[in-house]
């Protein structure tokens, strides 16, 4: 493999990405598209492509031209946008080839649920320590009406168990900036950027620098307690906004920890991890719109995880989220159901999921009002 090419430092990358307008609430795939343009401007070696989904994954480099035979109209051998076609496995292997050669920093995009089509290529990138990036959008049951075939409840966790693969699921535009910075800066392995289809709240109550730098560390204190600490709520991605809202209702003894990347957090030193998750506080709740199992290493057997441990169903995304208890209200309910103080050896039940019997029927979901889709813009219905 050729010598790795120099790139901008993390400080230069952060300085070159403007702070996002805090009044704008957009999907992280959209803020990802915005951040990508700044990354491409600062890092000329950065190239990207999509498995025939540029309109949805939004990772097209504006002004970057399309790679291809110059005898074909609109194509250029200097193009930075690759049209891989509907073939994720081939895309993954081509990204590996580019990374092996070492001239470019390659990335490719598809829907998260289709990542399994290129799992073997991702595994090889992790094994060979290749600095590839995967932009994986439509990240949860929040996809909505496309239904369970396109709702990747298990896929994020499935990627997290691949050794040497960093999986970053950012919560808002500033965490997205940190995620792209991390992916470009990493030289010894691949990074998966897991982004939402639905709009999320820009978390302006958390300082910009904290969100960006915290994402680089993998996990950080997003909202600090103002009283003696009693409860820690962990979240990532689109669920961080609900954790913040719940903490405000639960009061000053609650801390919110954002955990966008398990792998980067686990690489921090013991002192930092203990500062974020002090061992003396065992009353913990984690929330993510995906399978729950991997979160127990952070909440412990005394903690609870609000997750999605079954396939979803077709309905507007926020209706599906509510059916699984992925909201601030359910976090508050779970927190209030836990003992005020957990003693060593005192176990609590771990199940926090509503039963499948409580999910809306097809008749219920067919009569939902248009108001339930208010979090999606017109173009979000792709």
Annotated catalytic residues are 88
Give the strand pairing for 254-258 and 220-223.
Answer: antiparallel
Structure letter (DSSP) for residue 199: B
Structure letter (DSSP) for residue 231: E
Q: How far apart are CA 380 and CA 252, in angstroms?
A: 36
Q: What is the DSSP string of 304-337?
A: EEE---S---SS-HHHHHHHTT-SHHHHHHHHHH
- Contact yes or no for 46/104 (Cβ under 8 A): yes
Q: What is the DSSP string of 155-185?
A: HHHHHHTSTT-EEE--SSHHHHHHHHHHHHH
Residues in the chain, overall count = 382
Q: How far apart are CA 29 and CA 38, in angstroms?
A: 15
- Contact yes or no for 271/251 (Cβ under 8 A): no
Q: How far apart are CA 376 and CA 319, in angstroms?
A: 13
Between 240-250 and 328-337, two packed helices, what is the crossing angle to 10 degrees?
50
- Contact yes or no for 131/104 (Cβ under 8 A): no
Q: Which of 179, 55, 159, 167 is nearest to 110 (CA)?
A: 55
How many beta carbons lie within 10 A of that of residue 339, not counting itself?
10
Gyration radius from the chain CA atoms: 21
Beta strands in the chain (DSSP E): 46-50, 66-67, 75-76, 81-83, 105-111, 133-137, 166-168, 191-194, 220-223, 231-235, 254-258, 284-287, 304-306
Q: How far is CA 207 from the centre of its chain?
A: 19
Q: Which of 183, 178, 80, 100 is nearest to 134 (CA)?
A: 183
β-sheet bridge partners, residue 284: 232
């Amino acid at each position: 493999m050729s010598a790795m090419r120099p790139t901008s430092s993390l400080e230069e990358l952060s300085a070159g990405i403007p702070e996002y307008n805090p009044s704008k609430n957009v999907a992280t795939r959209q803020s990802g598209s915005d951040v990508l343009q700044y990354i491409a401007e600062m890092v000329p070696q950065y190239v990207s492509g999509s498995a025939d989904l540029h309109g949805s994954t939004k990772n097209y480099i504006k002004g970057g031209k399309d790679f291809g035979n110059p005898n074909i109209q609109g194509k250029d051998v200097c193009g930075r946008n690759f049209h891989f076609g509907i073939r994720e496995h081939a895309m993954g292997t081509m990204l590996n080839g580019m990374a092996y050669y070492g001239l470019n920093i390659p990335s490719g995009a598809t829907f998260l649920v289709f990542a399994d089509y290129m799992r073997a290529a991702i595994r090889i990138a992790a094994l060979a320590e290749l600095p590839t990036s995967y932009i994986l959008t439509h990240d949860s049951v929040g996809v909505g009406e496309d239904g369970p075939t396109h709702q990747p409840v298990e896929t994020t966790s499935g990627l997290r168990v691949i050794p040497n693969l960093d999986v970053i699921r950012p919560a808002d535009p500033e965490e997205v900036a940190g995620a792209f910075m991390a992916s470009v800066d990493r030289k010894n392995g691949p990074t998966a950027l897991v982004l939402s289809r639905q709009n999320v709240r820009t978390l302006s109550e958390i300082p910009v620098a904290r969100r960006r730098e915290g994402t680089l560390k993998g996990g950080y204190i997003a909202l600090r307690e103002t009283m003696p600490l009693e409860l820690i709520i962990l979240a990532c991605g689109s669920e961080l906004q609900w954790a913040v809202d719940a903490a405000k209702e639960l009061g000053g003894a609650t801390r919110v920890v954002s955990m966008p990347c398990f792998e980067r957090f686990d690489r921090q030193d013991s002192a930092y991890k203990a500062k974020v998750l002090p061992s003396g506080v065992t009353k913990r709740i984690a929330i993510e719109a995906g399978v729950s199992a991997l979160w127990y290493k952070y909440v412990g057997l005394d903690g609870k995880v609000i997750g999605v441990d079954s396939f979803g169903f077709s309905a507007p995304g926020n209706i599906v989220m509510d059916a699984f208890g992925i909201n601030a209200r359910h976090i508050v309910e779970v927190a209030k159901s836990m003992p005020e103080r957990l003693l060593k050896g005192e176990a609590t039940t771990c199940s926090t999921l509503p039963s499948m019997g409580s999910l809306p029927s097809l008749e219920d979901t067919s009569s939902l009002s248009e108001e339930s889709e208010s979090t999606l813009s017109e173009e979000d219905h792709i």
